[in-house]
Amino acid sequence: MESKKQINRLYTPGPTPIPQQVIDKMSEPIIYHRSQEFRDIFARVNKNLQYVFQTKQSVLTLTCSGTGGMEAIIVNLFSAGDTVLSVNSGKFGERWGIIAKTYGLNVVEIKIDWGKAVTVGQIIEELHKHQNIKGVLLTHCETSTATTTDVKNISKVIKQNSDALIIVDGISAIGALEFYFDEWGIDACVTASQKGLMMPPGLAFIALNDRAIKACQLSTLPKYYFDFKKYLSSLLSNDTPWTPTITLIKGLDEVLQMIVDEQMENIWKRHDHLSYTQREGLIKLGLKIFSDKPSHSVTAVYIPKEITWEKLNESLIKKHNITVASGQGEYFGKIFRIAHMGFCHNLDMQLVLDALRRALS
């Protein structure tokens, strides 16, 4: 009953558990960032980040949350008055639109019911209606609804119909869902450290192709800390424009070597399998999956009528030290979310199902 004496079992869609060897690496004495030792680490990190995004292009490392990374893309690639198409199918898709409006962009929004995914047809329709769209803002995994967007095929049709930049929020996707930055023709993609990358929060990563870098030259929005030109220039010498979070970069170096060892294809398959196992088990327990296009990184489930979110959550925490996530916005109290992202394996999913069975019986 005294759950704090049990292992900390964290199944929230960020942060996700951190492997012990990564914690050990972050516990080493801190080093100076303007040193060859740091540049050697950062060179390896930058190379391995390209592997994670499946790109030969530059990947920037920013000290901020994922939201900071989203804002950085908007202020670097666009100018006030530019029109962007934004898909709002949950809290994070909505955020793309809010940030863009904050900076004076015209936002054409496709509003989708929570739990559903935007279709290729809806994207084409808006591109034809608005010929001046400079960028399309997508969310690969909408964390609030645990729903996947078909970024691969949507990217294909955007290219056939428009010159718009294809921008992807990959925050709960990179390191969990299949993703090919170069092959799919994505122009900019942001992710954060505390999701598929098995790290503490605090870092955002942004992959940019040549078209995106050209767009940076045209942007007139003011920026300083987030100025991509400064990061791109520092990257040439494996340096950073501002003092980086050295501790996290050291952990990241370890994490990325784990990822390289396991290989992206195997990681994607593992997440595919984890999500399948989880959904199948939940359905067997009589629970109903919330999303039409469930993500491989997180599963959203309706809370059954017999129990409240508060009771369910209390039972999981108090009895088993298991933390899952509530629903967000108007879905608070209606759904809950179980992450299976990053450092997560089959037995974890079995354990969550067992705990849920006890809580519900």
Distances from the Cα of 64 to the Cα of 71, 192, 227, 248, 361, angstroms:
10, 9, 13, 12, 42
| C-beta of 27 vs 263, nearer to a copy of itself | 27
Residue 332 binds a copy of itself (CB under 8 A):
no
| For a copy of itself, the closer CB: 110 or 171 | 171
Binding of residue 12 to a copy of itself (CB under 8 A):
yes
**Contact status: 219 vs a copy of itself (CB under 8 A):** no
DSSP string, 58-88: EEEEEES-HHHHHHHHHHHH--TT-EEEEEE
Spatial neighbors of 123 by CB under 8 A, at least 6 apart, are 85, 87, 110, 136, 154, 157, 158
Question: Which of 81, 104, 286, 329 is the binder for a copy of itself (CB under 8 A)?
Answer: 104
Residue in 79, 83, 247, 315 binding a copy of itself, rule: CB under 8 A: 247
- From the list 49, 16, 8, 9, the residue with the least C-alpha distance to 194 is 16
Contact call for residue 234 and a copy of itself (CB under 8 A): no
What kind and span of H or E run contains 208?
A: strand 203-208
Q: Which of 1, 5, 29, 236 binds a copy of itself (CB under 8 A)?
A: 29
Rounded CA separation 257/179 (Å)? 19
Query: Do 78 and 100 touch, CB atoms closer than 8 A?
Result: yes
Q: Answer positive or negative: Cα dihedral of 7, 11, 16, 22.
A: positive
Tokens of 300: 């959203």
In the range 278-297, which residues lie near a copy of itself by CB under 8 A? none
Is residue 200 a contact residue for a copy of itself (CB under 8 A)? yes
Candidate residues 21, 32, 292, 310; the one interacting with a copy of itself per rule CB under 8 A: 32
CB-wise, 105 or 158, nearer to a copy of itself? 105
Q: Which stretches of the chain bind a copy of itself, using CB under 8 A?
A: 7-8, 10, 12, 14-15, 17-18, 23-24, 26-27, 29-35, 63-68, 71, 98-99, 102-104, 192, 194, 200-202, 221-225, 242-248, 323, 325-326
